Amino acid sequence: AQAPPAEPEEPVDHEKIRHLMAPALDEIAKARDAARAGGAEFVVVLINPQRADGTFADVQLAYNSEVVDFCRERGIDVVDPLPELIRAARGKPIFRSTDDYHWTGAADHLAAGQVYIYLTQSSLAMREFRKNASWVRPRGAELASALPERGSVLQ
């Protein structure tokens, strides 16, 4: 059976979206501040439900744009997999469960891939690498004796 056609959408009201998103955006900033205070990195990953007919609502692009702009203006790392979800779905409902809007494993995998790409291409991954390397370097001999099969890498 084919899914019913999507409901017609109202025009996107960006001012209304900014107003509606304000509390959530404030929470993102607070969460980033808490992560930094604890010495942790912080990355926002956007999640959008796919409709039963395989499409994503136009308003989701507008919401994501507001979040991405907010994050980038404040130096908050953000990953928006929606464009890749739209491209990969090709209008088929492959990224939602059959009985509700929750993502399938395929959507989880695609989003994880987008996060991986972001982390490997951003300075965030290099900061973590340098932090870990600075911890490992002085302990190389100790670690090599504990992990003899990795000794050549650690020394």
Q: Each residue of 74-115: pLDDT tens digit?
A: 999 999 999 999 999 999 999 998 888 889 999 999 999 999
pLDDT in tens, 50-72: 999 999 998 999 999 999 999 99
Residue 9 confidence class, pLDDT cut points 50, 70, 90: low
Residue 125 or 150, more confident:
125
SS3 45: strand
SS3 content of the chain, % helix, strand, coil (to 5): 60, 5, 35
What percent of the chain shows pLDDT beyond 70? 74
pLDDT reported for residue 87 = 94
Listed range (2-6, 23-27, 46-50) with the worst mean pLDDT? 2-6
List the one residue out of 126, 118, 104, 102 whose CA is nearest residue 49: 102
Displacement of CA 57 from its chain's centroid (Å): 19
To which residue do tokens 């908050």 refer?
76
pLDDT reported for residue 11 = 79
Q: Where are the alpha helices (DSSP H) in 53-149?
A: 58-73, 82-89, 105-121, 123-136, 140-146
